[in-house]
């Protein structure tokens, strides 16, 4: 027997972690008792101190520590194709990582392309 609930609505209302994933008791405690931002809890933080520590880390902010709005900005800057109203945080992270990987492969191939492009003239 199948039970279907409106996960999209629950996620939008911050009453579920993600589509098909309920909050754990520790996460619920962090949100309701400690007053944490649900997006930070989705990113894996269970205390405000951990959020501050991660934000204070030097360098680019890790994708898993970004909230949905931040991920959307990054995805747009990388021209990831997605529907903003329904895309999940997890899928955004995956797509951004895939896009970054593809870009870094392209960049890595560019220096090799130059010698190859010169080779026909050598053969000639």
Partner 1 sequence: MPILVSDFSALTDDLQSIFNEVAKRKVSENVGFSVFNVFDTERRTYDHLVLHGISGIKKVASGQDLPKVNAEQGDDISWTQEYYGAIVDVTKAMRKFDLHNQIESIVRSISDDAFDKVDQSLADRLINGWSTSYTDVYGETVASVGPDGLELFNATHSNPVTSNTFSNIISDGTNTNPALSRQAIVYMIAQGLKHKDPNNLVRPIRYDTLVVSPELQDIAERICNSQYLPGSANNDLNPLKGKIKVLVWPRLALSAAGTDADAYWYLYDGTGIKETLNCLFAERPSLDAPEQVYENKNWEYSIDFFYAIGTGFPAYIAGSKGDNS
Residues that bind partner 1 (CB under 8 A): 1-7, 9-10, 13, 15-16, 22-23, 25, 28, 32
How many whole angstroms separate alpha carbon 4 and alpha carbon 20? Answer: 10
Question: What is the CA angle 51-18-52, rounded to 5?
Answer: 5
Residue in 20, 109, 113, 2 with CA at minimum distance from that of residue 10: 20
Q: Which is nearer to partner 1, 7 or 82 (by Cβ)?
A: 7
Residue closer to partner 1, measured from CB, 3 or 121: 3
Smallest distance from the beta carbon of 11 to partner 1, in angstroms? 9
Kindly state the smallest distance separating residue 16's Cβ from partner 1, in Å: 4
CB of 24 to partner 1, least distance (A): 10
- Toward partner 1, which CB reaches closer, 13 or 97? 13
What angle, rounded to 10 degrees, do the helices at 68-77 and 89-123 form?
20
The answer to whether 87 and 66 have CB atoms below 8 angstroms apart is no
């Amino acid at each position: 027997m199948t039970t279907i609930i409106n996960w999209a609505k629950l996620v939008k209302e911050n009453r579920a972690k993600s589509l098909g994933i309920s909050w754990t008791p520790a996460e619920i405690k962090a949100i309701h008792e400690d007053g944490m931002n649900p997006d930070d809890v989705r990113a894996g933080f269970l205390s405000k101190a951990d959020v501050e520590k991660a934000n204070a880390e030097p360098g680019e902010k890790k994708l898993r520590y970004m909230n949905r709005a931040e991920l959307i900005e990054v995805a747009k800057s990388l021209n990831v194709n997605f529907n903003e109203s329904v895309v999940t945080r997890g899928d955004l992270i995956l797509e951004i990582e895939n896009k970054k990987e593809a870009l870094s492969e392209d960049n890595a191939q560019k220096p090799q392309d130059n010698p190859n492009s010169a080779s026909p003239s050598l053969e000639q």
